[in-house]
Amino acid sequence: MSTFRFKSVEEASGRKPVEVKLPDTDVRKYYAKNVFNRQKMFEYLPDAVFKELVEAIDNKRPINRMTADAVAEGMRRWAIENGARHYTHWFHPLTDGTAEKHDSFIEHDGKGGVIENFSGKLLVQQEPDASSFPNGGLRNTFEARGYSAWDISSPAFILNNTLCIPTIFISYTGESLDYKTPLLRALNSVDKAAVRVARYFDPEVKHVNSFLGWEQEYFLIDEALYSARPDLMLTGRTLMGHESAKNQQLEDHYFGAIPKRVEAFMLELEYEAHKLGIPIKTRHNEVAPNQFELAPIYEETNLANDHNLLIMSLMSEVASRHNFRVLLHEKPFDGVNGSGKHNNWSLGTDKGTLLFSPGKTKEQNLQFIVFVANVMAAVHRHNALLKASIMSATNAHRLGGNEAPPAIISMFLGQQLTEIFEKLEANESNINFSPGDGMDLNVAQIPALMLDNTDRNRTSPFAFTGNRFEFRAVGSSANCASAMIALNAAVASQLNQFADIVDKRIGDGEDLHSVILDEVRILLKKSRDIRFDGNGYSEDWTKEAARRGLDTQTSAPLMFDAYLSADSIQMFEETGVFSKVELYARNEVKWEMYTKKIQIEARVLGDLAINHIIPAATRYQSLLLDNVYKIKNLFPEAKAHDIAAQDMKGIEVIAHHISEIRLLVDTLIESRKVSNRLTSEREKAISYHDNVCPLMDRIRYHIDKLELMVDNEIWPLPKYREMLFIR
Ligand code: ADP
Ligand code: MG
Ligand nearest to the CA of 345: 1
pLDDT at 449: 44
Question: Which ligand places an atom closest to the C-alpha of 344?
Answer: 1
User: From ligand 1's centre to the CA of 463, what distance in Å?
Assistant: 12
Read off the pLDDT of each residue in 602-614 and give the average, rounded to a whole number. Answer: 98
Phi/psi region, residue 136 (left: phi>0; alpha: psi -120 to 50; beta: rest), is: left
Residue predicted with more confidence, 188 or 120: 188
> Which residue, by CA, sits nearest to atom 11 of ligand 1?
213
CA dist 229 → 7, 200, 232, 658 (Å): 14, 59, 5, 21
Look at residue 283 in the predicted model and tell me its pLDDT.
Answer: 84
**Can you tell me the distance from the alpha carbon of 181 to that of 178, in angstroms, rounded to the nearest whole number?**
6
User: Is 653's pLDDT higher than 80?
Assistant: yes
What distance in angstroms lies between residue 213's CA and the mean position of ligand 2's atoms?
9
Mutate to test the pocket of ligand 1, among 344, 345, 456 (most ligand atoms within 8 A of CB): 344
Residue 295 alpha carbon, nearest atom of ligand 1: 14
Q: Is residue 140's pLDDT more than 60?
A: no
Give the type of residue at 8: S
Q: What gap in Å lies between CA 355 and CA 393, rounded to an integer?
A: 35
- Angle, alpha carbons 168-171-176 (nearest 5°): 50
Q: If you measure from the C-alpha of residue 336 to the centroid of ligand 1, how many angstroms do you get, rounded to a whole number?
A: 24
Q: Which residues are CB-neighbours of 518 under 8 A, at least 6 positions away?
A: none
Closest ligand to residue 295's CA? 1
Average pLDDT over residues 294-307: 97
What is the pLDDT, as a whole number, of residue 11?
A: 54
Burial-class residue 617 by CB neighbours within 10 Å (0-12, 13-18, 19+): buried
Determine the average pLDDT of the residues in 620-648.
Answer: 95
* Ligand 1 centroid – CA 214 distance (Å): 7
The mean per-residue pLDDT over the stretch 684-704 comes to: 97
Pocket of ligand 1 (CB under 6 A): 211, 213, 215, 282, 295-298, 344-346, 354, 467-468
Q: 442: phi > 0 → left, psi -120 to 50 → alpha, else beta; which?
A: left
Mean pLDDT of the chain: 89
pLDDT in tens, 367-417: 999 999 999 999 999 999 999 999 999 999 988 665 656 789 999 998 888
Instruction: Tell me the average pLDDT across 430-448.
Output: 47
Let me know: does 283 contact 269? Beta carbons within 8 Å: no
CA-only gyration radius of the chain, Å: 29
Pocket test for ligand 1, best of 298, 471, 474 (most atoms within 8 A of CB): 298
Pocket-testing residue among 209, 215, 307, ligand 1, by greatest number of atoms within 8 A of Cβ: 215
- Determine the pLDDT at residue 727: 67
Concatenate the DSSP letters of all residues of 409-465 into one string. Answer: --EE--HHHHHHHHHHHTT-S----STT---BTTB----GGGG------TT-SEEE-
The pLDDT of 601-606, averaged and rounded, is 98
Instruction: Name, in order, each residue with C-beta under 8 angstroms of 627's C-beta and a sequence gap of 6 or more.
Output: 644, 647
Please determine, for residue 435, whether its predicted confidence score (pLDDT) is greater than 80. no
> Which mutation among 187, 208, 218, 468 tests ligand 1's pocket best, with the greatest number of atoms within 8 A of CB?
468
- Please state the atom number of ligand 1 nearest to the C-alpha of residue 212: 25
Residues 162-187, mean pLDDT to the nearest whole number? 92
Ligand nearest to the CA of 468: 1
Name 470's Cβ contacts closer than 8 Å, sequence gap at least 6.
342, 343, 344, 345, 462, 463, 464
* pLDDT tens-digit readout, 520-573: 999 999 999 999 988 888 888 989 999 999 999 999 999 999 999 999 999 999
Q: Which residue has the higher pLDDT, 145 or 43?
A: 43
CA of 535 to the centre of ligand 1 (A): 23
Query: What is the number of the ligand 1 atom nearest to the C-alpha of 296?
Result: 14
Question: pTM, whole model, 2 decimals?
Answer: 0.94
| Per-residue model confidence as pLDDT tens digits over 38-57 | 999 999 999 999 999 999 99
Enclosing H/E stretch for 4: helix 3-14
- CB neighbours of 355 closer than 8 A, spacing ≥ 6? 194, 198, 208, 346, 347, 348, 349, 367, 368, 371
Q: Which atom of ligand 1 is nearest to the CA of 345?
A: 25
Task: Report the nearest atom of ligand 1 relative to the CA of 465.
Answer: 4
Mean pLDDT, residues 506-516 taken together:
94
Dist. CA 347 → ligand 1 center (Å): 13
- How does pLDDT run across 475-491, given as a tens digit for each residue? 999 999 999 999 999 99
Higher pLDDT, 74 or 100: 74
Average pLDDT over residues 69-82: 94
Distance 698 CA to ligand 2 centre (A): 35
pLDDT tens-digit map of 302-339: 999 999 999 999 999 999 999 999 999 999 999 888 99
Distance 612 CA to ligand 1 centre (A): 45
Ion ligand 2: residue ranges with CB closer than 5 A: 342
Closest atom of ligand 1 to CA, residue 346: 24
Distance 297 CA to ligand 1 centre (A): 7
**Percent of the chain predicted with pLDDT > 90:** 70
DSSP letter string, 636-695:
-HHHHHHHHHHHHHHHHHHHHHHHHHHHHHHHHHHHHHHHHT--SHHHHHHHIIIIIHHH
SS3 20: coil
Task: Please compute the mean of the pLDDT values over residues 169-193 and round it to a whole number.
Answer: 92
**Nearest-ligand number for the alpha carbon of 279:** 1
**Ligand 1 atom nearest to CA at 293:** 7
Mean pLDDT of the region 462-483: 95
**Greater confidence, 245 or 495?**
495
Gap from CA of 32 to ligand 2 centroid (Å): 25
- Residue identifier of the C-alpha nearest atom 1 of ligand 1: 215
Query: Could you give the CA distance from residue 103 to residue 164 in angstroms, rounded to a whole number?
Result: 11
Q: How far is the CA of 312 from the centre of ligand 2 (A)?
A: 18
Residue nearest to atom 14 of ligand 1 (CA): 213
Three-state DSSP class for residue 5: helix
Atom nearest to 348 CA in ligand 1? 23
Question: Which pLDDT band, with edges at 50, 70 and 90, does 681 fall under?
Answer: very high
At residue 432 the predicted structure's pLDDT band, cuts being 50, 70 and 90, is very low
The pLDDT-based confidence of 433 (bands split at 50, 70, 90) is very low
- Give residue 296 CA to ligand 1 midpoint distance, Å: 8
Longest Cα–Cα distance of the chain, Å, equals 106
Give me ligand 1 centre to Cα 417, in Å: 19
